[in-house]
Amino acid sequence: MRGLLIWLLLWVCAPAWSAHAYAQFGDIKYPAGFSHFDYVNPGAPKGGEISLVPPTRLSNFDKYNPFTLKGSAPPALVGLVFETLLTGTFDEPTTAYGLLADDVTVAPDRLSAIFRLNPAARFANGDPVLAADVKHTFDRLTGKEAAPQYRTIFGEVQGATVLGERTVRFDFKRANAELPLIVGGLPVFSRKWGVVNGKPKPLDQIVTDTPIGSGPYRIGKVNFGRDITYERDPGYWGKDLNVRRGMFNFDRITYKIYKDNTAQLEAFKAGEFDYIQAFIAREWARAYTGKPFESGRLIKKELKHGNAGDFQGFQFNTRREKFQDVRVRQAIGLAMDFEWLNRQLFYNAYTRVRGYFVASDFEAKGKPGADELALLEPLRGQLPAAVFTQDVPQPPLTSLDPASGITLRDNLRRAKALLADAGWTFRDGALRNVKGEPFTIEFLDNSGSMGRVVTPFAKNLEKLGIAVNYKVIDFAILQKRMDVFDFEVTSSRTVGNEAPGTELLERFGSKAADTEGSGNVIGIKSPAVDALLDKIISAQTRPELVACVRALDRVLRHGYYVVPHWYGGVHRIAYRAGRFEQPAVTPRYYQPESWITSVWWATESNRQATRQTAGLAGTGTGH
């Protein structure tokens, strides 16, 4: 606390914040001139390779441009090929250190930030990274040719101005402690990317042009749409930076893409790739077994972490008339029997998601406290009275023993009453509205894995007279439909955040509800939510941010916009034995894929085999 007070005093008294790093709240852990991050091995050898599958539902890719709406880019492209002005760490959630920029200066009024670029920074083609490239990138990403969500992400940024060859200033529409981190996370690309015969293409017409980034890897061998290999750049400009020391050690990182989970797991067991993350408890318990694991050829681990819990749930598309009544949404949620699912399908591996900010300081609890009420009171006319007088809503519970608690039948009775109040009654063999239209729900999925959850859920909904259609489609088709909000209900997972902020505008803001490709798939358009989002992005201290986000969580939960799913407290991973080593220190905040590809390294046998493979292919690895 004393360190925080000193930091705040310095902020107020100093003419500007100028440093090797920027912290939204609290102290900066690593001082100027630090050697390396604590969770890396600074002497890790370079070489070797790793092959893995993306931890997403991606089923193919058809472009090399990750910044446009149409199409699918290959996994990890942004993180490996493009770099940002500042870089975050795995042990501090709201601090970033200089990468392309070696100094950041924030004005006393917090309405602008100046970044000074490192003179050594180079793109993969050898060109220096200049302020003009930074402005070019910002202007492209906030233009109409880029994916619309970038205009939301950078919506509080007035513009970028080139002050000198290697100096750029970002001006902000208002004071917001997070904005230097937002612009510091801008993925910078060269002005020459997409230039043909001296003429630049519009961003949305740059499709298969090889990206020109400044990152540690370049695109190597590609089986277009299926597999992609990133090759470490031997001339990478930042290899000796303290924020890069001991990192990006593999010569080659290959991503393989499979159509379904079964084929993917069998390929892993057969040795087609090295690493996989498991998301399905049943598979983890029953399919990650057998001789490869018993012999020690494959290793499975559950890794602890300090991340905020991931949010997951069935999301309603409230743009559809039948989902616009909160009573209907609440009734549908009452039909999910999580306790039965956890016992019968999940091996009791999960905890029920309660709100939107799972297992974190930002999760609302009980009735609103004084700090929340101060935020909610001006919105009283826009919110239901229950927000102020009742405990925050909890997902329904069920019990096997009717004498010991609430049963599924009790929940279905409540659901029936809510539906009747909303004008939906059972007649002529179906739940119908006053027009006689039957209530149907289409659940969209791309992998089929959610089918075992939807099936018992559908049986419960059918008891209410609701007909369910569970439809499995290819991920690319699902993504296109989601981009234009052509769905009724689908499942979604959002990675937890230790400091929610501007990204919530894109997830819950009214403007994003009408923006194709946005994260507001639910279609929330609430003046009260918008007002709370405005308070969140203006928060100047962490306690203030906590109060604002809790108030938002409370309001959203009273809206019953989702049927909450479940979360786990560990990362479940498996990998081939004898091929990798890792640092002694595991960071607190991390996703396993990025942790492994950035700080693990290859064993000597792996490196030797990779050198031999490169020799047979007649190409070197840069050593």
Model confidence at 240: pLDDT above 60? yes
Torsion of Cα atoms, 481 then 486 then 487 then 491, to 10°: 40
pLDDT for 420 equals 98
Instruction: Answer whether residue 234 is part of any domain.
Output: yes
Model confidence at 126: pLDDT above 70? yes
Query: Would you place residue 12 in the very low, low, confident or very high pLDDT band (cuts 50, 70, 90)?
Result: very low
pLDDT for 349 equals 87
Instruction: Verify that 189 and 319 share a domain, yes or no.
Output: no
Give me the CATH number covering residue 375: 3.10.105.10
Q: Which of 567, 582, 610 is the last residue of a domain?
A: 567
| Matching residue, tokens 């930002």 | 362
Instruction: Verify that 477 and 551 share a domain, yes or no.
Output: yes
Q: Which of 517, 552, 567 is the last residue of a domain?
A: 567
Instruction: Answer whether residue 619 is part of any domain.
Output: no
Mean pLDDT of 40-45: 97
Instruction: Answer whether residue 276 is part of any domain.
Output: no
pLDDT for 618 equals 45
pLDDT for 612 equals 84
Model confidence at 16: pLDDT above 50? no
How many CB atoms are closer than 10 A to CB 473? 13
pLDDT for 23 equals 93
Instruction: Verify that 250 and 384 share a domain, yes or no.
Output: no
Instruction: Answer whether residue 511 is part of any domain.
Output: yes
Query: Would you place residue 9 in the very low, low, confident or very high pLDDT band (cuts 50, 70, 90)?
Result: very low
Ramachandran area for residue 23 (φ above 0: left; ψ -120 to 50: alpha; else beta):
beta
Query: Would you place residue 401 in the very low, low, confident or very high pLDDT band (cuts 50, 70, 90)?
Result: low
Its domain, for residue 6, covers 2-257
Selection from 392, 395, 351 nearest residue 372 by Cα:
392
**Residue spans of alpha helices (H) in 317-379:** 326-334, 338-344, 370-376
Q: Supply angle C-alpha 594, 146, 117, rounded to 5.
A: 60
Instruction: Answer whether residue 270 is part of any domain.
Output: no
pLDDT for 404 equals 63
Instruction: Verify that 156 and 249 share a domain, yes or no.
Output: yes
Instruction: Verify that 441 and 536 share a domain, yes or no.
Output: yes
214 membership: H or E segment, kind and range: none
Query: Would you place residue 616 in the very low, low, confident or very high pLDDT band (cuts 50, 70, 90)?
Result: low
Average pLDDT, the chain: 92
Q: Is 151 helix (H, G, I), strand (E, B) or coil?
A: helix
Residue 490 · residue 521 · CB < 8 Å: yes
Model confidence at 10: pLDDT above 70? no
Instruction: Verify that 248 and 330 share a domain, yes or no.
Output: no
Instruction: Answer whether residue 583 is part of any domain.
Output: no
Instruction: Verify that 360 and 215 share a domain, yes or no.
Output: no
pLDDT for 447 equals 81
Residue 422 · residue 466 · CB < 8 Å: no
DSSP 410: H
State pLDDT tens for residues 416-434.
999 999 999 999 999 999 9
Residue 473 CA from chain centroid, whole number? 22
Model confidence at 3: pLDDT above 50? no
Model confidence at 93: pLDDT above 80? yes
Model confidence at 11: pLDDT above 90? no
Instruction: Answer whether residue 327 is part of any domain.
Output: yes
Q: Which of 257, 283, 298 is the last residue of a domain?
A: 257
Percent of the chain past pLDDT 90, that is, above it, reads 83
* Amino acid letter for position 515: T
Mean pLDDT of 62-89: 96
Query: CA-CA distances (angstroms) from residue 591 to 305, 483, 598?
Result: 9, 25, 11
Instruction: Answer whether residue 510 is part of any domain.
Output: yes
Mean pLDDT of 152-158: 94
172 membership: H or E segment, kind and range: strand 167-172
Instruction: Verify that 241 and 384 share a domain, yes or no.
Output: no
Model confidence at 478: pLDDT above 70? yes
Query: Would you place residue 475 in the very low, low, confident or very high pLDDT band (cuts 50, 70, 90)?
Result: confident
Residue 111 · residue 161 · CB < 8 Å: no
Residue 168 · residue 114 · CB < 8 Å: yes
Instruction: Verify that 361 and 465 share a domain, yes or no.
Output: yes
Residue 184 · residue 22 · CB < 8 Å: yes
Instruction: Verify that 7 and 81 share a domain, yes or no.
Output: yes
Token digits of residue 388: 């102020």
pLDDT for 57 equals 78
Instruction: Verify that 234 and 331 share a domain, yes or no.
Output: no
Token digits of residue 486: 């052509």
Give me the CATH number covering residue 206: 3.40.190.10
Instruction: Verify that 232 and 344 share a domain, yes or no.
Output: no
State pLDDT tens for residues 485-535.
999 999 998 988 888 998 999 999 999 999 999 999 999 999 999 999 999
What is the number of structural domains in the chain?
Answer: 2
State pLDDT tens for residues 129-152.
999 999 999 999 999 999 999 999
